[in-house]
Amino acid sequence: MKRMKDDPDLLEEYDFTGGDRGKHAQRYAEGTNVVVIDPDVAEYFPDRESVNEALRSLAAIIEKHGKSEGELETRT
């Protein structure tokens, strides 16, 4: 496989001539909310719907117990 002279990271067979430059740039600039979860946790959540359902359930529990956002501890 031959590399492109102008960009050694690209192979010659990559063809972006029909692509739309900046197609997602505005949306990306507005902010992203991608969260990477550890593999052991990902086993329980095969798709985004299952993650959102679990987080909504957790949010309901937090609301029920009267915890405000400022009272929650975060772990890094």
List, for residues 47-70, the tens digit of each pLDDT value.
989 999 999 999 999 999 986 555
31-61 burial code (b ≥16 CB/10 A, e <16): eeeeeeeeeeeeeeeeeeeebeeeeeeeeee
Distance CA 45, CA 47 (A): 6
Q: Are 3 and 12 in contact (CB under 8 A)?
A: yes
pLDDT digits (tens, 9 = 90+) for 12-31: 788 888 889 899 888 888 88
Residue that the structure tokens 């197609």 belong to = 23
Distance CA 36, CA 51 (A): 12
Task: For the chain, give the mean pLDDT.
Answer: 83
